[in-house]
Structure 1
Amino acid sequence: MFDIGFSELLLVGLVALLVLGPERLPVAARMAGLWIGRLKRSFNTLKTEVEREIGADEIRRQLHNERILELEREMKQSLQPPAPSAPDETATSPAAPPQPASPAAHSDKTPSP
């Protein structure tokens, strides 16, 4: 991450020993470790909260998209005419000749206009 090698760490340690002295160096190192640990924990907490919020936003977005798709389907269904459930027999079958009501009505003469 910072690309710090062993020689750089040794140089920082030597400068800290010279500046702080042998009595205060362990206390300063302990305090630096505590501060670094706190920073790591706070960054990790912040990271998990952001990831959780991003996940929650993504879920909200998906639910919103699903609602829109459902409304779109309902609108399409309401705009389409209803399909007949059974085929209409009068529209599909050929016209049958009408049957005379009585034999007297049927005669050999054709009606004149």
Structure 2
Amino acid sequence: MFDIGFLELMFIGVVGLLVLGPERLPKAARTLGLWIGKIKRTVSGMQREISAQLEAEELRQKLNEQQKKLDESVRQVQRDVESLAEPHRPAEREADKAPAPSPEQRLDDALARARRRDGESRADEPAAPAPADKDASSR
């Protein structure tokens, strides 16, 4: 970062010795060293965070590219399946052209199916006697 040679360091030491004196110079040098260490750690931490953010952004971009490729592949397979199913569709379309049953017809069909199911399940059971008519018993 800074290109400081031996001559510059010796000059700074001599000036510091003259300004601070021999008693305070070691304490000042130690404090300066601690501050420089903290600054270096802070800068290093910031560089790591920036690097991690850049790597995360690259991974997001790669993931988005892969997702686009996957989506395109799925669309292509879907088109292929639809094109294979196309020859079979005319028969289905003719059946689709028949008018849809009205709600009343659907209800009647559902009731008829239920009666048939109910009748089939009761065919196995013994027949229960018919309830007596009240008018007939009172006579």
Alignment length (residue pairs): 83
Aligned counterparts of 1:17 and 1:68: Cα–Cα separation in 2: 67
Residue 95 of structure 2 corresponds to: none
Gaps of 5+ in 2: 86-139
TM (normalized to structure 1)? 0.67
Q: Secondary structure at the match of 2:32?
A: helix
Give the Cα separation in 1 of the matches to 2:3 and 2:46.
24
How many Å apart are 1:3 and its aligned residue?
2.0
- 1:53 counterpart = 2:65: no
- 5+ unaligned residues in a row in structure 1: which ranges? 84-113
The 2-side partners of 1:10 and 1:82 are apart by 85
TM-score w.r.t. structure 2 length? Answer: 0.55
Q: CA deviation at 1:77?
A: 2.2
Q: Aligned-pair distance for 1:42?
A: 0.7
Match of residue 6 from structure 1: 6
Paired-residue identity, %: 45
- The superposition leaves residues 20-79 of structure 1 with CA deviations (integer Å, 9 ceiling, x where unpaired) of 111110110000000000001111111111111111111111111111110111122223
RMSD: 1.5
Task: Determine the C-alpha separation between the residues in 2 that align with 1:5 and 1:37.
Answer: 19
- Residues 1-80 of structure 1 mapped to structure 2, 5 A cutoff: 1-80=1-80
Kindly indicate which of the two structures has a greater share of residues assigned to helix. Answer: 2
